[in-house]
Amino acid sequence: MIAVDERFCPKNHACPTVRVCPAGAIVQDDVRSAPRVDHGLCTDCGLCTRSCRAFVQVEDPVRTPAGVV
């Protein structure tokens, strides 16, 4: 599962990684908010994790560290 680690997102611009996702699974509600992953659309291709360090692969969603959504 892909998640966003908000500690690495400046939350001060339109997220360029939104355009990287071929499934359209990355959504940013506002330019001052961190993007989020729509897990219903995400195919776990990993292109976002190579585009920006805020996107991380999470193996166990139950043990996800604070700040990772």
Mean pLDDT across the chain: 90
Could you tell me the pLDDT band of residue 40, with boundaries at 50, 70 and 90? very high
44-63 pLDDT tens trace? 999 999 999 999 999 865 55
Distance of alpha carbon 63 from the chain centroid: 17
Segment (H or E) for 37: strand 36-37
In this predicted structure, what is the pLDDT of residue 39? 95
Which among 4, 19, 9 is positioned nearest to 65, based on CA atoms? Answer: 4
Number of domains in the chain: 1
Assess if residue 11 is contained within a domain: yes
| Res 64 pLDDT > 60 | no
Q: What is the predicted pLDDT for the residue at 5? A: 95
Range of the domain at 12: 2-63
Q: Give me the CATH number covering residue 18.
A: 3.30.70
Q: Is residue 43 part of a domain?
A: yes
- Residue 68 resides in a domain: no
Residue 6 lies in a domain: yes
